Amino acid sequence: MVVDKFRVTPWEVSGEVDYNRLIEEFGTKPLTDAQIKKIEQIAGKSHHMLRRRIFFSHRELDILLKEYESGQKFALYTGRGPSGNTHMGHIIPWIFTKYLQDAFDAPLYFQITDDEKFLCKPDLSLEETNKLAYENALDLIALGFDPKKTFIIVDTDYAKSLYKIAIQVAKKVTASTAKSVFGFTNETNIGMYFWPALQAAPCFVPSIREGKNVRTLIPAAIDQDPYWRIVRDVAPKLGYLKTAAIHNVFLPALTGPTGKMSTSSGQHATVFTTDDEKTVRKKIMKYAFSGGRDTVEEHRKLGGNPDIDSSYQWLRFFEEDDEKLKQVYLDYKSGKLLSGELKQILVDKINGFLKIHQKKKEEMRGRLDEFLLKD
């Protein structure tokens, strides 16, 4: 979707995203207080990404929750396009997916699209994207997913099963739909025209594997929604239930409040899950956009602006404790907390998280096979 001030597609996010406008343009629904309360009630605990409306929009959530309460289980589905190392933005929907898996005792199907990234990135070979797929998979597993209930699909290694579903989907989608939904042109390679059918396929894998109709719920950032529009249109034509979705906003780029955290917007300012402590510190200290004043005196007198400060905005995603977050907000706004000190709080938070994450990744390296679905 392209509007005058910003652009959101599965391959590009730029400008200052107006999320209310996206809800209208994409035709999704805002997440309501009642829905949040219901999820929290089933989960038996709250989640900061719900409380802070980091998850803000949905499709078909009411029906899914009603079905769940009447005893009908659903499956979770989300994924990753392995074009490089995983960054801190990618793991936002996965952290929330873990909460949902625990809350609803739901299986998770996780697609890693080595084929997509080969097709859309001119410089990447299939060998490279396939290798990255298994590295990226460890970033999911490190978050604590249950191997008995988590099924990772690396596309080229589950191709036989996916292909049979993808061609059913592809037969129902015209090139003109693909052009208007994804902005494809005559110069787009034909692999990409077929690609949306492959991202649709895992929506139906749970039904096929379980031999009964199982609805899927997709937690992902809103950039992936164009796929779900197509899937939801096709699902009833193939005898499946319409997929439900719950959408998150983007972790902003460190460099400022426009666009999203993304490798293509600058490697140097992107925090990867593979970064060591020193690198994280360097990136945040150097690139995190500051809402502070020009001089310490001015800052002390007038206070900073947390609403545009990248370090504060990042803490909204990663600091789970509401009280701590509120204190940071108040201290920064009053001028008590300086920009450098706020950055240091973020550095400590991210490094604390990554220390555990990287250790977990190494521990799980030998157990990857337990999670993989293969033909």
- Shortest approach of ligand TYM to residue 258 CB, angstroms? 12
Residue list 164-223, contact with ligand TYM (CB under 6 A): 199, 218, 220-221, 223
Q: Does 81 bind ligand TYM (CB under 6 A)?
A: yes
Q: Segment near ligand TYM (CB under 6 A), from 111-119, 160-168, 339-347, 362-370?
A: 111-119
Q: Does 251 bind ligand TYM (CB under 6 A)?
A: yes
Q: Are 138 and 357 in contact (CB under 8 A)?
A: no
DSSP letters spanning 281-314: HHHHHHHS---S-SSHHHHHHH---GGG-HHHHH
Q: Does 90 bind ligand TYM (CB under 6 A)?
A: yes
Q: Segment near ligand TYM (CB under 6 A), from 36-44, 72-80, 162-170, 178-186?
A: 72-80
Between CA 30 and CA 19 the distance in angstroms is 10
318 CB-side CA count, 13 A: 22
- If binding means CB under 6 A, how many residues of this protein chain bind ligand TYM? 25
User: Which lies closer to ligand TYM via its Cβ, residue 60 or residue 116?
Assistant: 116
User: Which lies closer to ligand TYM via its Cβ, residue 265 or residue 358?
Assistant: 265
Helices (H), the chain: 19-26, 33-43, 48-51, 61-69, 91-104, 114-120, 126-141, 159-170, 175-182, 190-200, 205-210, 225-234, 277-287, 296-302, 310-318, 322-334, 339-364
Q: Does 228 bind ligand TYM (CB under 6 A)?
A: no
Between CA 43 and CA 38 the distance in angstroms is 9
Contact with ligand TYM (CB under 6 A) among 76, 79, 196, 281? 79
Q: Segment near ligand TYM (CB under 6 A), from 88-96, 264-272, 322-330, 351-359?
A: 88-96
Phi/psi-derived region of residue 275, left when phi > 0, alpha when psi is between -120 and 50, beta in every other case: beta
H or E stretch at 221: strand 215-221
Residue list 327-366, contact with ligand TYM (CB under 6 A): none
Q: Does 113 bind ligand TYM (CB under 6 A)?
A: yes
Q: Does 261 bind ligand TYM (CB under 6 A)?
A: yes
Question: Which residue shows structure tokens 């337990």?
Answer: 370
Residue nearest to ligand TYM (CB): 81
Residues near ligand TYM (CB under 6 A) are 10, 77-81, 89-90, 92-93, 111, 113, 116, 199, 218, 220-221, 223-224, 248, 250-251, 260-262
